[in-house]
């Protein structure tokens, strides 16, 4: 066996076993392609890497197989580890497609852990707990370990035939609420019996109606109901402010007291009356002392009659005094009125009015 070695006086040492054996290069520069064959090794001392040659025609590709301190290692073929334990002290293990688990027995059946193509970075975190993974496929309760769930606590049916998934829980709750006669629904008309206590209050939306029929509402006062803009609450100040009086009445809006002031019994002198509006005629009844009534009607624009019934006027002697008229001035009054006619044919006479004519009291002849 021939051994070829070129190591002295050069920066590129070469070692070859046999005439056709592979070479081992040790240099800082890439070996010449013409000196290389597939399978040759090159210790690239410039970066402390070990490479193996792959030659195609005149082109040589050097593939890294080992670096200093066992850094990055690239294996172009399959890697088979026949030990019982493989320890990987790495923060990230990248698997391009799938991981295949053989199981305890090497046979034709394996479990493949794979993923679909993600559209973004995804993170799946394993919980800090022991147990079995729940799959999205169709599984039965019997497929789970007995320690994975509480038989009666995590199933709907008493025979443990149905798992309490969130979707199934929502469906079952909805069914129970719809069929229940003791649950108040959020929509529709409800009839409830018994006493209901709402600790956080009840809100009726705008436009809604709360109807209370033949019932007694306790614990409610106007202090807890907001006053409206049209139907206002009663209050003493509001009631008193709405009252007004006139005439002989006076009103105190602070106390709500209405007072009446009687007319004065004294004499009132009126200098001039510019306008009068008469309702019923004034009857002064019997005047026991002398009195003077003076009326100034101003200018009278049209013919009119003014009638005053002063009753009997008594003189200072105490005897009644009839009103005096001439025949021409006797007024057209009402039947039964008495007067003193001063120019009657037979002399001053007492006359009375029968509704048509004034007649003498003495002989009932018409005054003339």
pLDDT digits (tens, 9 = 90+) for 108-137: 999 898 888 889 998 988 888 887 776 666
Q: How many CA atoms lie within 13 A of 347 on its CB side?
A: 1
The pLDDT of 358-362, averaged and rounded, is 88
pLDDT band at 14 (very low <50, low <70, confident <90, very high): confident
Closest by CA position to 339, among listed 327, 326, 323, 357? 323
What is the total count of domains within the chain? 2
The pLDDT assigned to 345 comes to: 84
Q: Is residue 344 part of a domain?
A: yes
Angle at 280 between CA 276 and CA 282, to 5 degrees: 80
Query: Does residue 164 belong to any structural domain of this protein?
Result: no
Q: How many CB atoms lie within 10 A of CB 123?
A: 4
Range of the domain at 44: 3-70
Neighbours of 368 (CB within 10 A): 12
Report pLDDT for 238: 85
Cα 204 vs. chain centroid, distance in angstroms?
10
Q: Which residues pair with 26 in a beta bridge?
A: 13, 43
Please, which residues bridge with residue 56 across strands?
59
Rounded CA-CA distance 329/367 in Å is 12
Give residue 194's region: left, alpha or beta (phi > 0; psi -120 to 50): left
330 belongs to a structural domain:
yes
pLDDT in tens, 331-347: 988 888 888 899 988 88
> Does 139 map to a domain?
no
pLDDT tens per residue across span 226-273: 888 888 888 888 888 888 888 888 888 888 888 888 776 666 655 555
Angstrom distance (rounded) from CA 315 to CA 224: 76
Residues written for the chain: 368
Among 58-62, 146-150, 194-198, 214-218, which range has the highest average pLDDT? 58-62
**Cα–Cα nearest to 136, from 107, 165, 113:** 165
pLDDT at 220: 75
User: Comparing 155 with 90, which gets the higher pLDDT?
Assistant: 90
Is it the case that residue 147 has pLDDT exceeding 50? no
* Cα–chain center distance at 7: 93
Q: Report the candidate in 196, 175, 173 with the shortest Cα–Cα distance to residue 184.
A: 196
**Which tokens in the block code for residue 70?**
């066992």
Last residue of a domain, one of 70, 88, 112: 70
- Asked if the model's pLDDT at residue 363 lies above 60, the reply is yes
pLDDT range class, residue 149, cuts 50, 70, 90: very low
Tokens of 349: 């006479």
**Model pTM score:** 0.26
pLDDT of residue 1 exceeding 50:
no
**Cα(129)–Cα(269) distance, rounded to whole angstroms?**
115
In a domain, 189, yes or no: no
Taking a C-beta distance cutoff of 8 angstroms, is the pair 45, 27 a contact? yes
pLDDT at 165 over 80: no
Residue 112's Cβ-count burial label (10 Å; 0-12, 13-18, 19+) is exposed
Domain boundary among 70, 96, 123: 70
Whether 367 is in a domain gets the answer yes
Q: Please, what sign has the CA dihedral across residues 326, 328, 332, 335?
A: positive
> What is the overall mean pLDDT for the chain?
76
- Highest mean pLDDT among 4-13, 28-37, 129-138, 273-282 belongs to 28-37
Residue 85 forms part of a structural domain: no
At 287 the pLDDT is: 58
Note whether residue 15 is domain-resident: yes
């Amino acid at each position: 066996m021939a051994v070829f070695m070129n190591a002295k006086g050069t920066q590129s040492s070469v070692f070859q076993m046999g005439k056709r054996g592979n070479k081992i290069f040790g240099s800082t520069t890439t070996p010449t392609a013409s000196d290389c064959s597939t399978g040759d090794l090159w210790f690239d001392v410039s970066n402390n890497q070990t490479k193996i040659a792959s030659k195609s025609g005149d082109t040589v590709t050097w593939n890294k197989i080992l670096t200093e301190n066992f850094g990055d290692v690239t294996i172009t073929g399959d890697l088979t580890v026949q030990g019982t334990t493989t320890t990987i002290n790495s923060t990230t293990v990248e698997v391009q497609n799938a991981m295949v688990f053989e199981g305890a027995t090497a046979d034709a059946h394996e479990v493949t852990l794979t993923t679909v193509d993600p559209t973004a970075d995804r993170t799946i975190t394993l919980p800090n707990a022991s147990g079995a993974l729940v799959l999205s496929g169709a599984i039965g309760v019997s497929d789970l370990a007995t320690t994975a769930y509480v038989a009666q606590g995590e199933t709907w049916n008493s025979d443990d035939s149905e798992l309490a998934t969130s979707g199934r829980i929502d469906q079952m709750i909805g069914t129970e609420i719809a069929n229940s006669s003791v649950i108040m629904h959020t929509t529709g008309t409800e009839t409830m019996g018994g006493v209901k206590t709402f600790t956080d209050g009840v809100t009726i939306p705008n436009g809604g109606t709360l109807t209370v029929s033949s019932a007694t509402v306790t614990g409610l006062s106007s202090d807890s109901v907001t006053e409206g803009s049209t139907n206002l609450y009663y209050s003493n100040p509001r009631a008193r402010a709405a009252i007004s009086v006139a005439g002989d009445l006076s009103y105190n809006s602070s106390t709500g007291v209405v007072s009446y002031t009687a007319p004065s019994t004294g004499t009132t002198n009126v200098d001039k009356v510019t306008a009068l509006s008469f309702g019923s005629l004034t009857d002064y009844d019997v005047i026991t002392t002398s009195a003077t009534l003076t009326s100034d009607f101003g200018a009278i624009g049209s013919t009119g009659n003014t009638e005053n019934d002063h009753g009997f006027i008594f003189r200072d002697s105490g005897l009644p005094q009839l009103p005096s008229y001439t025949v021409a001035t006797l007024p057209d009054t009402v039947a039964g009125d008495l007067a003193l006619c001063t120019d009657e044919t037979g002399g001053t006479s007492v006359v009375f009015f029968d509704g048509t004519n004034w007649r003498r009291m003495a002989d009932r002849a018409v005054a003339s």
